[in-house]
A = this chain, B = another copy of it.
Amino acid sequence: MIIVLKPGLARRQEASILGEIRKRGYRPHVMRGVARTVIGAIGDELTHQSLETLAMVFPDLVESVIPVQKRYKFVSREAHPENSTVPVRQHFIGGKKFHVMAGPCSVESADQLLRTAEAVKAAGATVLRGGAFKPRTSPYEFQGLGEKGLKLLARARRETGLAVITELLSENHAELVAEHADIIQIGARNAQNFQLLIAAAKTGKPILLKRGLAMKIEEWLLAGEYVLANGNCNLMFCERGIRTFETYTRNTLDLSAVPIVKNESHCPVVIDPSQGAGRADLVKALCKGAVAMGADALLIEVHPNPVEAWSDGAQQVSLPVFAQLMKELRPLIAAVGRD
């Protein structure tokens, strides 16, 4: 930790700060600069008590306190310099092969789900997405088919061989969801619901962690740290748009998250352009950007009849649009050296 002192302190005042630093187990190291005196507090920031309170408790003496260590450990690329790959049935996400996860926002019926599953498989997707438990902004909106939806997903898997990803909303459903899904999705609204993250991690299933609407990259990585620190190393990060002032799109998809998370972490990065924009007409361009920037997979909402969708129809693409999109992605996937 670096402690910047206010200018013009008496030696006695400086000594009292040095005492506070020592009391917390750090060894202080004083540097007198031209305009400011700076103290380096030597000790492990992850195991010692933080010194950040000093600036507030001694506002007349301390100008600022700056941590120098990163706060995440297991998700960090320092801890695991190679890219990690997440095994999902016969696939590995994060390796040379680029993956597409696709399917409806909500599971609505056997017919809707199976038609979609077959179509997305034919177009080249390897994972089927579909919401059985749906977090909805209003209590009056469709909340998902629940267990019945999970069973339909499992049936679609049996019939198509696609792996299945679905969202977990409640600690109490962790076992149930893990029983039917190959990947457990933690949604943006629950990205800092740490109890849910721990429950999901403990199922042992691969976890796809969406970024919260107002989450800094560091906070997102630390939420992922909850998964790894609870013994589950099969974690993927999924960018799905952050909240900004722009109103043309529902959210602003932060594609720079791809190279940043790749820099900081070894975990695979997935892009969800459907939630990111909230507009089907932008999905194609966003997918292309994601591929070019180095994402490992896409998560795309596809519906056989978007206008009739029970939720989020505005952002779901139709089956022919999806097939066309997959075709247009191929040259880009090749251009970045992926399969």
Contact = CB atoms under 8 A, between A and B. Distances in A.
Contact of A335 (B68, B136, B331): B331
Residue of A4, A34, A138 with most chain B CB atoms under a 10 A cut-off: A138
Interface stretch (A84-92, A107-115, A122-130, A245-253): A245-253
A276 to B, nearest CB: 8
A98 interface: no
Nearest to A45: B35
A291 to B, nearest CB: 7
Interface residues of A, number: 110
A308 to B, nearest CB: 8
A184 to B, nearest CB: 15
Contacts of A68: 2, 4, 33, 35-36, 38, 63-64
A289 B292 CA distance: 5
B260 A256 contact: no
Main secondary structure of the interface of A (DSSP, over half): mixed
A176 interface: no
Given A259-B285, A285-B256, A214 B216 contact: no
A131 interface: no
Contact of A171 (B170, B229, B246): B170
Contact of A53 (B259, B282, B314): B314
A336 interface: yes
Interface string A13-39: 000000010000000010111111010
A247 B294 CA distance: 21
A2 B335 contact: no
A307 interface: yes
Given A53-B307, A66-B66, A246-B217, A286 B190 contact: no
Interface of A: 2, 4, 7, 20, 29, 31-36, 38, 40, 42-46, 50, 52-59, 63-64, 66, 68-69, 71-73, 78, 135-140, 169-172, 189-190, 192-196, 212-214, 216-219, 222-223, 225-226, 229-230, 242-249, 252-256, 258-260, 263, 276-277, 279-282, 284-286, 288-294, 306-307, 309, 313-315, 331-332, 334-336
25 contacts: A31-B31, A33-B40, A35-B46, A36-B68, A38-B68, A40-B40, A54-B307, A57-B313, A58-B307, A71-B138, A135-B192, A136-B194, A140-B225, A171-B172, A190-B193, A214-B214, A242-B246, A244-B252, A245-B245, A246-B254, A247-B247, A252-B254, A256-B285, A292-B332, A334-B335
